[in-house]
């Protein structure tokens, strides 16, 4: 804790979410780190295959409710899991999770029809959405994303209070002198 050791992290998943997803961690995010500053926020997106014909979240929910077990979704991290599970709960779905290690695997599964929707961070999906390789039906931030102005929020589509944004931050080990943190 001398100010020379810095942690640049997707803090929303590592420091905020992991204590709720895992019984035992090798660290305590509340005692072992001191937050220096948040650096970036990004929404998650919910995407479908452009071949599906689905244009918005309402159509996605209708599609899923017609399928046995309400279909399948892909994700690749804790924040994506939390996003999808909140969507499922609010929409009254039982959709089955399919975890992927890489975004490319999730995208391939979506385009191949193995899953019905994909939940990933907006930075990954924005280029694919703009190129027409996938269709984002929603972002999870409270306002539309500046880089995806054509994609409505979950709130705009009737999911009141649905707000999940991933954030990146800078932290230092606990015990770092306050003047250095400042």
Taking only the tens place, the pLDDT of each residue in 89-117 is 999 999 999 999 988 899 999 999 999 99
Query: Reduced to 3 states, what is the DSSP secondary structure of residue 20?
Result: helix
CB 15, CB 169: distance < 8 Å: yes
Give the β-pairing of 117-121 and 33-48: antiparallel
- List CB contacts of 56: < 8 A, sequence separation 6 or more: 137, 138, 152, 157
How confident is the model over 129-158, as a mean pLDDT? 95
Q: What is the pLDDT of residues 25-67, one digit of tens each?
A: 888 888 999 999 999 888 999 999 999 999 999 999 999 999 9
Q: What confidence score (pLDDT) does residue 18 get?
A: 78
């Amino acid at each position: 804790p001398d100010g020379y050791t810095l942690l640049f992290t997707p803090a929303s998943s590592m420091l905020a979410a992991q204590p709720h997803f895992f019984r035992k961690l090798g660290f305590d995010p509340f005692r072992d780190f001191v937050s220096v500053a948040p650096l970036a926020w990004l929404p998650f997106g919910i995407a479908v295959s452009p071949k599906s014909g689905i244009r918005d979240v309402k159509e996605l929910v209708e599609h899923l409710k017609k399928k046995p077990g309400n279909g399948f979704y892909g994700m690749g991290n804790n924040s994506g899991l939390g996003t999808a599970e909140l969507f499922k709960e609010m929409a009254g779905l039982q959709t089955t999770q399919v975890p992927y290690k890489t975004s490319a695997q999730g995208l391939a599964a979506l385009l191949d029809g193995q899953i019905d929707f994909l939940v990933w961070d907006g930075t990954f999906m924005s280029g694919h959405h703009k190129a027409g390789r996938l269709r984002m039906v929603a972002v999870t931030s409270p306002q539309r994303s500046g880089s995806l102005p054509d994609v409505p929020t979950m709130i705009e589509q009737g999911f009141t209070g649905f707000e999940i944004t991933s954030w990146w931050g800078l932290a230092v080990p606990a015990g770092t002198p306050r003047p250095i943190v400042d």
